[in-house]
Amino acid sequence: MARIEEATLFRPDSKLQYPGAPRGGGGGGGGGGRSNDEDDGPNIALGARVGEAARSAKRRKGLSFVVMMICGALTVLGAIFAPRSYEVESRVLVQKTSSLTGPQQQYVSPEEMRNLAREYEEQVLARDNILAIVKQKNLVARWDDMRQPHRRLIDKINRKLGKPAPSDDEKFEALVSNIEHRMKVWVDATTVTVKLEWSEPLAARDIVDAAVKNFLDARFQSEVGVIPARLKIQEGFVAQAHKDLESAATELVRLQKANDPTKKINVLIPQLPQGVNDKPVPIDADPALKAKLEGVRGQIQTASQAKQQRLAELNQQLIEKQQTLAPGHPEVIGLKQTIAATEASQPAGLAGLKAQEQEILNEMAAQQQRAQAAAKAEARPVPRTVSVAAPAPPPEVIAATAPKSVQDAQVRFDTVTATYQTLVKQLQELQVQMQEQEAQYKNRYKITHPAEVPAGPKRPVALIAIAIGLLSTIAAVLMVAALADRFSGIFFEPRDVRDRLGLPVFATFS
């Protein structure tokens, strides 16, 4: 007879597979039939595990609410203190123009283009330029305003713990290092692009704006800057030649009057070009006063040039703004008002310098008048003798420099006049060249995209933090509730019975 055995809960059939039963057979009730290599039983799908965790969270509403509130608070803090970066970009158009008079553009080889691009990049990223940016924009004083929120919190904690705050030198070096690492420059065939990622939008705009302006100033010095120096030297030559011309004319008139006192003599001396020592200096003035006058005039010229440079910068900004903004835009109107106020204003201390200059000139004139009066007083008792107000030079110097006759004086006057005219012509040529180079520079470099304050951070950090916090909150609620059920000692799910007791569960009911 065939033996029939009934498969029961405590005596399962080895040929049948039950939930929780070991694969490969083995009988017996309780947990004796579980194999050592498969303690976890059959794999549970991820959806089933999530469903179990959701039911655990539903059963433990209080615990889930506490976890949700904690995670929500952490999410809000993360959105507030998450580091933000602001990106600012500025572009300069570089046009290939060779000369205002040349109809064709100058050919530039690829090697020269690469060298020029490298030169542009080095001028922007030069350490001297970055040091100047930190000083120009006063970034050390703006250190606290540029700190990220979490950095400010760390700084407050450090101060509470008694740690010293960084010194100004440490801030300066940190700012220079950050700019060197974060500022990027791209140079292509026609455009120089300067880009910066920074922690504060206004500072980012200011740094890029200063970098572009310093780059344009460096290009101006490289391409045009040598001509103003040559102009200054040439103006000195012209002024000295004019003094020599006045001296030669005075000597010529003196000799002509000595030969014919009744003859009316007119010697025409051309005026100095405009801007070249407009106010003459007395010939016999005190050397100390001359030096002082030159120093004051140099300060006046420096102040005037600073004003003109400021006006040029404002006009350039106005042109750039008008290319992208409407005439009624507040920035355009503000720039026009600033230009008008700058033109109407006078540089600080300029009035005092001009008054000081006039005082020196008056003192020089008084000295000359006193010297002439003294010479006349000495000459009155002996009308026939020639008296001089100063010690006479050695005879060999007189023989070498002073003309002996009217003809010699006329030749010297004509020679000095010709030299003066040649120097004036060279000065005028340099002035024309300067104007051409300035016009060429303005046509060559144009800011097509000025630096502007970014509307928002480079990435939506707050939204990202909220999204991550929301997902983390859901995961934390499910995990904490599932772990609480797991370690509570109570069986809430059929899988708990199978995993802990090794007993198969055929059905559940509520």
- Residue 411: per-residue pLDDT: 83
Cβ neighbors of 489 (< 8 A, separation 6 or more) are: none
Evaluate whether residue 386 is within a structural domain: no
Say yes or no to pLDDT of 464 above 80: yes
Evaluate whether residue 384 is within a structural domain: no
Q: Are residues 292 and 373 in the same domain?
A: yes
What global pTM score does this model have? 0.52
User: Which has the higher per-residue pLDDT, 106 or 454?
Assistant: 454
Scanning 126-192, the segments in alpha helix (DSSP H) are 127-136, 143-146, 149-160, 168-182
Strands 445-449 and 191-198, bridge-based pairing:
unpaired
b/e burial code for range 319-357 (CB count within 10 A of at least 16 → b): ebbeeeeeeeeeebeebeeebeebeeeebeebeebeebb
What's the average model confidence in pLDDT over 461-475? 87
- State which of 186, 208, 223 marks the end of a domain: 223
- Residue 335: per-residue pLDDT: 82
Q: Are residues 102 and 20 in the same domain?
A: no
Instruction: Extract the tokens encoding 449.
Output: 């995209």
- Residue 34: per-residue pLDDT: 44
User: Which has the higher per-residue pLDDT, 227 or 373?
Assistant: 227
* CA–CA distance, 376 with 383 (Å, rounded to integer): 10
Q: Let me know: does 389 contact 374? Beta carbons within 8 Å.
A: yes
What's the average model confidence in pLDDT over 79-89? 84
Q: Are residues 267 and 358 in the same domain?
A: yes
184 φ, ψ to 5°?
Answer: -120, 145
Residue 143 burial class via C-beta count within 10 angstroms: exposed 0-12, middle 13-18, buried 19 and up: middle
Confidence band (pLDDT; 50, 70, 90) for 370? Answer: confident
- Dihedral of CA 459/465/471/476: which sign? positive
Q: Are residues 94 and 79 in the same domain?
A: no
b/e burial code for range 232-244 (CB count within 10 A of at least 16 → b): eebbebbbebbbb
What's the average model confidence in pLDDT over 318-334? 78
Evaluate whether residue 342 is within a structural domain: yes
Confidence band (pLDDT; 50, 70, 90) for 11? Answer: very low
- Residue 501: per-residue pLDDT: 73
Q: Are residues 204 and 287 in the same domain?
A: no
Instruction: Count the domains in the chain.
Output: 3
Q: Find the angle CA(444)-CA(446)-CA(448) to the nearest 5 degrees.
A: 145
Out of 242-251, 332-341, 385-394, 410-419, least confident range: 385-394
Instruction: Extract the tokens encoding 240.
Output: 């000295």
Say yes or no to pLDDT of 195 above 90: yes
pLDDT, tens digit, for every residue of 491-502?
A: 777 777 777 777
Percent of the chain with pLDDT over 70: 76
Say yes or no to pLDDT of 139 above 70: yes
Q: Are residues 46 and 7 in the same domain?
A: yes
* CA–CA distance, 500 with 496 (Å, rounded to integer): 6
Say yes or no to pLDDT of 470 above 80: yes
At 81 the three-state DSSP class reads helix
Q: Let me know: does 304 contact 347? Beta carbons within 8 Å.
A: yes
Confidence band (pLDDT; 50, 70, 90) for 90? Answer: very high
Evaluate whether residue 49 is within a structural domain: yes
Element at 305 (helix H, strand E): helix 287-324
Calculate the CA dihedral of residues 232, 236, 239, 241 and round it to 10 degrees. Answer: -130
- Residue 105: per-residue pLDDT: 53
Say yes or no to pLDDT of 268 above 50: yes
Say yes or no to pLDDT of 194 above 90: yes
Q: Are residues 141 and 255 in the same domain?
A: no
Say yes or no to pLDDT of 41 above 70: no
Q: How many CB atoms lie within 10 A of CB 252?
A: 21
Q: Which residue has the tokens 């201390």?
A: 349
- Residue 185: per-residue pLDDT: 92
Q: Are residues 170 and 312 in the same domain?
A: no
* CA–CA distance, 67 with 475 (Å, rounded to integer): 10
Say yes or no to pLDDT of 138 above 80: yes
Element at 411 (helix H, strand E): helix 406-444
Evaluate whether residue 320 is within a structural domain: yes
* CA–CA distance, 82 with 465 (Å, rounded to integer): 8
For the chain, the residue count is 510
Per the structure, the complete domain to which residue 118 belongs is given by 85-223
Out of 15-24, 193-202, 450-459, 501-510, least confident range: 15-24
Q: Are residues 406 and 468 in the same domain?
A: no
Q: Are residues 206 and 108 in the same domain?
A: yes
Evaluate whether residue 133 is within a structural domain: yes
Mean pLDDT of the chain: 75
- Residue 262: per-residue pLDDT: 67
- State which of 190, 223, 256 marks the end of a domain: 223
Residue 432 burial class via C-beta count within 10 angstroms: exposed 0-12, middle 13-18, buried 19 and up: exposed
* CA–CA distance, 81 with 75 (Å, rounded to integer): 10
pLDDT, tens digit, for every residue of 384-440?
A: 333 333 333 444 333 345 556 778 878 888 888 888 888 888 888 888 888 888 888
- State which of 194, 223, 252 marks the end of a domain: 223
- Residue 106: per-residue pLDDT: 58
What's the average model confidence in pLDDT over 345-365? 76
Out of 31-40, 207-216, 323-332, least confident range: 31-40
Evaluate whether residue 491 is within a structural domain: yes
- Residue 103: per-residue pLDDT: 45
What's the average model confidence in pLDDT over 62-72? 89
Q: Are residues 93 and 79 in the same domain?
A: no
Q: Which residue has the tokens 């540089």?
A: 347
Out of 14-18, 214-218, 276-280, 432-436, least confident range: 14-18
Out of 162-166, 282-286, 308-312, least confident range: 282-286
- Residue 209: per-residue pLDDT: 92
Cβ neighbors of 263 (< 8 A, separation 6 or more) are: 256, 257
Percent of the chain with pLDDT over 90: 7
- Residue 12: per-residue pLDDT: 47
Closest CA to 142 of 220, 63, 50, 207: 207
Closest CA to 433 of 218, 224, 220, 217: 224
Evaluate whether residue 136 is within a structural domain: yes
Most confident of 81-95, 137-151, 202-216, 381-395: 202-216
User: Which has the higher per-residue pLDDT, 410 or 305?
Assistant: 410
Q: Are residues 149 and 263 in the same domain?
A: no
DSSP secondary structure letter of residue 23: T
- Residue 374: per-residue pLDDT: 64
Q: Let me know: does 458 contact 85? Beta carbons within 8 Å.
A: yes
Instruction: Extract the tokens encoding 482.
Output: 């599932």
